Amino acid sequence: MSLRLRSAAAILSASLVVAACSGGDGDAESPTETADVVDTVDTVESSEVTAPMTTLPPPTTPPATEPPDTTGAGETTTTSTSTTTLPPTTTTTEPLAVQELVLRGDGIGSARFGAAPEGVIEYVTSILGGNTGDTGWVDPLSFAVCDGTVARRVDWGVLSLLFSDLSDVADGRRHFMGYEYGRAGELGDEPVGLRTPGGTTLGSRIVDLLADFPDAAVNPGEQDINIPPNFYVSDNFYGLLTGIEDTDVVTVMFGGYGCGE
């Protein structure tokens, strides 16, 4: 049976300038003797001439700095240095597929339901690489009960995209109409981690599913006609569960408009 598909100082050098002091002494004048002069002595005073001297101030010795008081008994003065703190560099380790291929009720990632098939396939291939399966354009009844005259399913592991020429979103032209992510009993297979904008992914517990979609309905299914437990958010987003307890988990998610049984 097939369900419908969704989807971052400079240290200044100090220079010490030393200026030399210079000085000079002048010669004293000699007394002049005069003949025939008795008991008279002309004393010539001697005068000393000193050249001006430039005096530098004594070197300044910085005062001794006492070690900081780590006992709390004294008071320590701390000189703060202004620093510039850059914001931390944010690096994400999530795979590109998880970042890009977000599961929505109107498409997957940047691919919207109703878009041309080749563009959608090229887009997903650029992220996930080559597909793991492609039915080509075939009779819709060859793999499911689909409307229209042709249908196509392209797989990348447990992610499948469905295309047709008739659905609730378009009529008379080939277009992207739905996705299926996950396979019952195949949790952990590639591509891993694709999720809704609110974080629901394969393996999410029902309690987390309901935190993401408070209005979602959780149904026990009908074992006698092979309908497993499931959840329903809207006509274009629903999926399968392992059970209906809070600790049961999501196993498959469908988005868009799909085919019936």
Distances (CA, A) of 178 to 72, 159, 230: 71, 11, 18
pLDDT confidence of 83, banded at 50, 70, 90? low
Tell me the pTM.
0.65
99: part of which helix (H) or strand (E)?
Answer: helix 96-100
Rg of the Cα trace of the chain? 46
Task: Measure CA of the first residue to CA of the last residue in the chain; give whole Å.
Answer: 6
* pLDDT tier for residue 58 given thresholds of 50, 70 and 90: low
Residue 40 located in a structural domain: no
Q: Residue 22 — pLDDT band, cuts 50, 70, 90?
A: very low
Q: Does residue 69 belong to any structural domain of this protein?
A: no
- What is the C-alpha to C-alpha distance for residues 223 and 217, in angstroms, rounded to an integer? 18
Q: Does the residue 52 lie in any domain?
A: no
pLDDT at 41 exceeding the cut of 60: no
**Bond prior to 31 in cis (omega within 30° of 0):** no
Residue 184 falls inside a structural domain: yes
Decide if 147 contacts 140 (C-beta within 8 A). yes
pLDDT band for 160, please (50, 70, 90 cuts).
very high
Whether residue 127 lies inside any domain: the answer is yes
What pLDDT does 259 receive?
78
Is 107 a residue whose pLDDT tops 70? Answer: yes
Q: Grade residue 134 by pLDDT with cuts at 50, 70 and 90.
A: very high
Q: Does a structural domain hold residue 181? A: yes
CA angle 232, 234, 239 (to 5 degrees): 35
Q: Are strands 111-112 and 107-108 parallel, antiparallel or unpaired?
A: antiparallel
* Strands 151-156 and 133-134, sheet pairing: antiparallel
**Mean confidence (pLDDT) of the chain:** 76
Percent of the chain with pLDDT over 90: 54
Q: What's the half-sphere exposure (Cβ side, CA atoms, 13 Å) at 123? A: 16
Give yes or no for residue 184 having a pLDDT over 60.
yes
Q: How confident is the model at residue 88 (pLDDT cuts 50, 70, 90)?
A: low
Establish if 107 belongs to a structural domain.
Answer: yes
Asked if residue 229 is part of any domain, the answer here is yes
Mean pLDDT, residues 16-42 taken together: 40
The total number of structural domains in the chain stands at: 1
- Domain hosting 235: range is 96-256
